[in-house]
Amino acid sequence: MIDFAVFSITIIAVWSVLAISLHLQFGLTGLVNFGQVLPFAVGAYGTAFAAAHGLPAWAGAGIGVTLAPLLGLLVILPASRLAQDYWALVTLGAGEIFRLTMLNVPVIAGGDEGTSVYRFQNADLAMVLALTLLLVTLLFARRVGASPLGRMLRVLREDEVLAATLGRNPFRLQRMVTAASWVMAAAAGVLYAHVTGYISPSSFTVLETFVIWTAVVLGGPSTITGVLLGTVIVQLTSVSTRFVAQWSGLPSDLVANLRLGAYGLVLILVFLYRPQGLIPERKLRYDADRL
Amino acid sequence: MLQILINTLIYSGEIGIIAVGVALSYSVLRFANFAHIQFAVVGAYLAFTLNQFLHCPLVLAVILAAVLTGGIAVTVDALVFSRLRDVTPEGKMIVSWGVALLLRSTMGAIFGSSSRVFGLEPASLQIGDAFFTSLDVVVVVVAILAMILLHFLLYSTRLGTALRALASNADLAATRGIPARRMVSLMWFICGAYAAIGGSLFALESQLAPNMDLIILLPVFASVTLGGLSNVFGAALGALGLSLAQNLLIGVDFGSWFSANSWSVPTQFRDFIAVGAMVIILLLRPYLARRRRAV
Amino acid sequence: MLTVCDLSVSYGRFQALRSVSLQAAPGSILGLIGPNGSGKSTFLNVIAGVQAVASGEVRLDGTLVPLGLPERVAAHGIGRSFQTPRLAHRLTVFQNIMIGARPQAGERLRSLFLQPATVRRREADIQDEARSVLRRLDLSHKANDYAGMLSGGQQKLLSLGMLLMGHPRVLLLDEPAAGVNPVLIERQINLLKELRAEGRIILLVEHNMEMVCGVCDRVVVLDSGAVIAEGDPDAIRRDERVMRSYLGEPA
């Protein structure tokens, strides 16, 4: 039971980092990244590449965390100066292309069969590392969100032209947000690889992107507490799938499908009945009368 | 070369029928509907069920599946999309993924994750040194007929006039007394039905599995993007262009250019061309838009 | 001195601006009038850099202003307000005022994490300035309301306040009086006069002739993208040709 709790906390922490990364991109800046799984996969595959080629684990982590923001800047290049429809399409396509590359080029990290990587033998250590990473990202995101930078990112979310006429370069800010949040997601990917000990393309489909989106939309994309709450809810249903299947006697395949269906339903219902999510953005009040 | 052209026609037929629906709904409602991909999968599964379990003749099964999927699309609109007027296009895109996940998991729950085949045995045909099957002929003919019918619907009927009015200016169309609600429902019916036909053709040519959505996702959206997102026949042309590029790259023996060994791009890489084409068009888009304005 | 030289813009075959030239001196308000579609908004867009396609040049005190890059134009001290005010609707009035300040150390990641004291000091200064701008606009009581909840007239005042935070030398105002109640128009007129006294250059696109005649030092009349008349407000009012193009009938 304790083992399960430790594992669950580790997994929730990893996915919380992904959710905070999406919070920075979508919740604050309004960037519709439908390829959020890409930086996560890049982190994981950096690790897998190192393992498959006999490089040390730190080198794999380094590759993943450096490559992700560079790739991010490359991916958003065609989408900058275009509407968010195109942004969504480009990021979605990039995520799928990365997965297909890993699937079809076995030299990188085993292709369809995947690669085994070093797995943390000590589950507690894994949990502590995951929580540390979560804490760092959380503090970073909080600092950004509550700063003048966060304010300008929100302006970008509302109206890019306004930001530009006020003398800001929207694309510089978008690049900055993308680089920073993709580093986070890649770090989460590195950790995820070492927690599960095995990496294959099927863990990084576009559906994973929407598991992150469900958590973020459900909790409230514009607040950190919101995305954390959403992730806890979504990931608890995810890690408990096995138990639900055992307990109900239904095939686990069916339970997994029902879970995915429930995520879809959540996305729909939240937008219909509570578009700001469970925890809406709080109003920042200032004393205007002070002299 | 002839083989490449024939393959191009077949593949663009399957993708094009699906892609026009995305462009049609985008042109009227201004959001990219990702659930459209699932309409194709649902349609294919319905056709499969009708044909294999209820023993409908295949043609009738596909037609019924198209009607039923059209109905599903109309229902989705009534329950979800029509109630999202005040939501931003980004929000609608995200919701469309919600619908997609729901439809996908429903199909997965009912039919399981294993793949299924219709088990047709079409006759082989040959022109010169190019091979194809009678099914391929049917696919291409159906695609062409579907495009002609769509053109007729959009340009020679009241529905088409109304939809184009809605697409260019919804408020103005409303004041002119165009029954927007009914027209939008009809539009969704067409989208669903076309997706179902495209999905069925695709499944007939290969196989049927819940992950068919991931296989058609990129080529469909790349075609729509090539056509300019809101241009229905642009999407069809986009499918044709994309398919040609893919088949050229896969079909041409690049190895023989440089050495005695034959080497061509493996077929798994056709999606790279889809995304690559999309990226190139997007990079050129601001430039193209400026050119058009400046002319 | 703001100097605009031979500005031309066309969309396809339609010529939105035909080699428009004009000058405006510091401490003056230049009115821009003309019928709908005469190119007034296009003109402001080009100077503000929002609109790219143009030939001709814009100089401020002799320095060439880059066209087509709004973020660089703003750095030259040129600010534009829009006919439908552009605001961050889900931020408060106070926050909207604050975003007008420039540059902000706290918008750079490096200073945010390495020089927190600098960021804090700058932020305090911005807040003080925001308070005084709000008082000037008489919007202090709305400071903590969401900008999207304001009336149209208040939104126009707010977007003007946002511009003032950037200390612009040139203000491009697009129909600040349209759809605004007379009390708020009066407040704007007083504000514009104050700004003129501070030595700023103001380009005012406006249909409200009372406002135009009340504050403008000079008026330029545009029709079909070309300047058809220029002079002091009273002379323009007496100009029969202007009145015909503007009102569609002889005065």
The answer to whether the beta carbons of residues A196 and A206 sit under 8 Å apart is no
Yes or no: domain C2-77+168-247 corresponds to CATH 3.90.1150.10: no
Confirm whether B32 is domain-assigned: yes
pLDDT number for residue C249 = 47
N-term to C-term CA, chain B: 37
Q: Which of A75-84, B226-235, C117-126, C207-216 has the lowest mean pLDDT?
A: A75-84
Confirm whether B138 is domain-assigned: yes
pLDDT tops 70 at residue B288:
no
Amino acid at B193: A
**Residue B279's pLDDT band (cuts 50, 70, 90):** confident
pLDDT number for residue C248 = 56
Chain C interface mutation, best of A26, A154, A166, A276, highest count of C Cβ atoms under 10 Å: A166
pLDDT tops 90 at residue A287:
no
Number of domains in chain B: 1
Confirm whether B118 is domain-assigned: yes
Q: What is the domain extent for residue B59?
A: 2-210
The answer to whether the beta carbons of residues C123 and C101 sit under 8 Å apart is no
Closest residue, chain C, to B290 (C-alpha): C53
HSE-CB for C91 with a 13 A CA cutoff: 27
DSSP string for chain B: -HHHHHHHHHHHHHHHHHHHHHHHHHHHH-S--THHHHHHHHHHHHHHHHHHTS---HHHHHHHHHHHHHHHHHHHHHHTGGG-TTS-HHHHHHHHHHHHHHHHHHHHHHH-SS-B-----PPEEEETTEEEEHHHHHHHHHHHHHHHHHHHHHHHSHHHHHHHHHHH-HHHHHHTT--HHHHHHHHHHHHHHHHHHHHHHHHHHS-B-TTHHHHHHHHHHHHHHHTTSS-HHHHHHHHHHHHHHHHHHHHS-SHHHHSSS-----GGGHHHHHHHHHHHHHHHHHHHHHHHHH-
User: If you average pLDDT over residues B245-269, what whole number do you get?
Assistant: 79
Q: What's the rounded Cα separation, in Å, for the pair C169 and C57?
A: 18
Give ∠ CA A43-A49-A50 in degrees, rounded to 5: 95
Closest residue, chain C, to A163 (C-alpha): C71
User: What are the backbone angles phi and psi of residue A52, rounded to the nearest 5°?
Assistant: -70, -25
ipTM of the complex: 0.92
Neighbours of chain B (3+ CB pairs under 8 A): A, C
Q: How close does chain A come to C129, measured CA to CA in Å?
A: 10
Closest residue, chain B, to C9 (C-alpha): B294
Residue B290 and residue C53: Cβ atoms within 8 Å? Answer: yes
Q: Note the pLDDT tens digit of each residue in A34-46.
A: 999 999 999 999 9
**Which residues of chain C fall below pLDDT 50?**
249-251
Q: What is the DSSP letter of C65?
A: P
User: What are the backbone angles phi and psi of residue B125, rounded to the nearest 5°?
Assistant: -125, 165
pLDDT number for residue B65 = 96
Confirm whether B44 is domain-assigned: yes
What does pTM read for this prediction? 0.91
Residue B290 and residue C52: Cβ atoms within 8 Å? Answer: yes
Confirm whether B77 is domain-assigned: yes
Q: Look-up: residue for tokens 């950190």?
A: A224
Q: What's the rounded Cα separation, in Å, for the pair B263 and B117?
A: 31
Q: What's the rounded Cα separation, in Å, for the pair A255 and A257?
A: 5
Q: Look-up: residue for tokens 């399981």?
A: B112
**What does the domain layout of chain C look like in residue ranges?**
2-77+168-247, 90-153
pLDDT number for residue B292 = 44
Q: How close does chain A come to C247, measured CA to CA in Å?
A: 33
Confirm whether B256 is domain-assigned: no
Which of A85, A205, A260 lies at the smallest CB-CB distance from B229? A85
pLDDT number for residue C246 = 67
C29/A244: higher pLDDT: C29
Confirm whether B215 is domain-assigned: no
